[in-house]
Structure 1
Amino acid sequence: MAKSSLAIHETLEIHEIMTMKQACLVKAVAVRSFVKDETLEKLIAQDIKDSEQALNNLQKLLADHEGGGSHE
């Protein structure tokens, strides 16, 4: 099966999403150490895990389509 390619604007959108997700991840990691409430700490820990997974998925998506961008 042939690989589909991402248009330039799609690649840029993914990069924008990754930048925002990375900023949120950095903040979550930073504030986690200050949280006293156990429930909130668990929510932040889950958010960190989910954000890391989302970033990995987005990086894989870009890698899978690397070099195949359409210029339409």
Structure 2
Amino acid sequence: MKYALHEVLEVHEIAAFKTTCLTKSKTMKALVTDQSLKDIMQKDIDVSTRQLQEYASILSNAKQ
């Protein structure tokens, strides 16, 4: 599928933001002592990682 330039740029922008959020979650998780909050943060890390893989797939297909 061929993507318009603005679509590729939007996905790139979302991926950059999600990367920042993932980095923050991973960093802050090490500082949290409450186990339920750690579990929530781990779920966020897992979801964000999966989403970033999907964004990478979209961006690699857009280059073709």
How would you bin the TM-score normalised by the shorter chain? over 0.9
> Which TM-score applies when normalising by structure 1?
0.85
Query: Who is 2:5 aligned against?
Result: 8
Q: Within the alignment, does 1:27 sit opposite 2:24 as a pair? A: yes
In terms of fraction of residues, the more helix-rich structure is 2
| Secondary structure, counterpart of 1:6 in structure 2 | coil
- Equivalent residue pairs, number: 64
Q: CA deviation at 1:50?
A: 0.4
Residues in 2 aligned to 1:37 and 1:28: alpha-carbon distance in whole angstroms:
14
Query: Who is 2:38 aligned against?
Result: 41
User: Rg bigger for which structure?
Assistant: 1
**Where do 5+ consecutive residues of structure 2 fail to align?**
none
The alignment yields a C-alpha RMSD, in angstroms, of 0.8
Percent identity, aligned pairs only, is 31
**Where do 5+ consecutive residues of structure 1 fail to align?**
68-72
